[in-house]
Amino acid sequence: MAYPTVSKPYGLLPVNLIGGQVFAGSTRLMSVASGYGTDIFYGDVVKRASDGTIQKDTGTSTATPVGIFLGCAFTNPTTKQFLQQQYYPASTVASDIVAYVCDDPDALFKVAVLSDSTTIGGLTQTDVGNNVSILVTAGSTTTGDSKEGILNSTSTATTTLPFRIIAGVQETVNASGSFTEVIVKWNMGVHTYYSATPVATAA
């Protein structure tokens, strides 16, 4: 039987909630600071800054996430038109920039397995239950999609890593029988809502 091939990473996509809870696909509007200087792509991990806005979370093994970025809206400073976009373009100057964020700490995400920033890797059934770090990279300004994934070489029992592997995605098992996509959740104490630290420090 031929399985579909995962050709590239696409960020983290919310698919469900832990324990069979009802998943409504809801998001929360969160502000992005005017002029914030980093692109944020659909599927990127984001964090709170000390001023209450959100930023791209560049922590690989030390992420302090508030959720996953799922698009944004703002008034274009040149045309004055209100735009909804797949990604936030770096250094956009507008007073009304809001991001759509999946901030549920019980969310489950589908994510590609990577062996480096561009190469799809694999994990096996023995990796299910382990913890992993995220591989952070820039997304595509053409599609607006993230290129983040989890790094297979970090699959360990280390409790400080941000994600727990819940299951492998059977539909995209490769020819050698390895999972090229997995389902993950935030580890307890990593997500801002479950952390004793109120917010991340602004970068």
12-16 average pLDDT score? 96
3-state secondary structure of 80: coil
- What pLDDT was estimated at residue 3? 67
84-92 average pLDDT score? 96
- By C-alpha distance, which of 97, 106, 109, 110 is closest to 71? 97
CA distance 1 to 61: 36
- What pLDDT was estimated at residue 1? 46
For tokens 């009304």, the residue is 96
108 within 8 A of 18, measured Cβ to Cβ = yes
Partnered with residue 111 across adjacent β-strands are 182
Per-residue confidence band for 97, with pLDDT thresholds at 50, 70 and 90: very high
- What pLDDT was estimated at residue 4? 82
94-107 average pLDDT score? 96
- What pLDDT was estimated at residue 200? 52
- What pLDDT was estimated at residue 77? 87
Is the pLDDT reported for residue 127 higher than 80?
A: yes
